[in-house]
Amino acid sequence: MAKKSARKKSTKKRVAAKRATAKRASPRRAAAKRTTRSRSGQLRHRPTPGLYGWITHTELQSADPLATKSWCAKVLGWTFTHSMSMPEGGDYHLFAYSEKGGGGVRGLMPNESPGSSFTVHVSDAHEAYARALTEGAEPVTPPYRVMEGVTIAVVKAPGGVRVGFSGP
């Protein structure tokens, strides 16, 4: 009987250790599974259906993006996955703060102050944008494709709050 009890405890410990390891899984590895490159080298992203309606992307607009990136990695423990060039110039530094969320750090646009904004994961960015406008939001950025699997749009909700949408 003692052997059976010891084996049962050992199995429970292994299961608990496996769960703890899964919880600590690298956000970079998790993000990498969702974002890959096509054969032609273009980035593509596989949306996560279970996160529709969640804030999954936070963007930091910085006067010094590299300093902000370094600070966030050291102080907040965020994992920076890769950087990509922006059409307006400068780089967009992608990060993950969990398996389910992340964002980017970028430089300021002309006449923009440092700040942050958020993006909600949706099943269809075009549909979410149209619905937001129908319900009284003002257009900021119409839907456009960032990479395969990712279309983003931004509106100004009643009260002036900017809300981003991201989805296929």
**Residue 18 CB contacts under 8 Å (≥ 6 apart), including other chains:** none
Buried b (16+ CB within 10 A) or exposed e, 1-17: eeeeeeeeeeeeeeeee
3-state SS assignment for residue 123: coil
DSSP annotation of 98 reads S
> What does the block give as tokens for 85?
């060039």
Distance CA(167)–CA(149), nearest Å, equals: 7
3-state SS assignment for residue 103: strand
Residue 15 contacts residue 29 (beta carbons within 8 Å): no
Give per-residue pLDDT as tens, 39-97. Answer: 666 656 566 677 888 898 899 999 999 999 999 999 999 999 989 998 888 999 999 98
pTM of the model: 0.65
Query: pLDDT value at position 141?
Result: 96
Nearest to 167 by CA among 147, 151, 153: 151
Residue 63 contacts residue 111 (beta carbons within 8 Å): no
Give per-residue pLDDT as tens, 3-32. Answer: 555 555 555 555 454 444 444 444 444 444
| Span 32-167 CATH architecture | Roll (3.10)
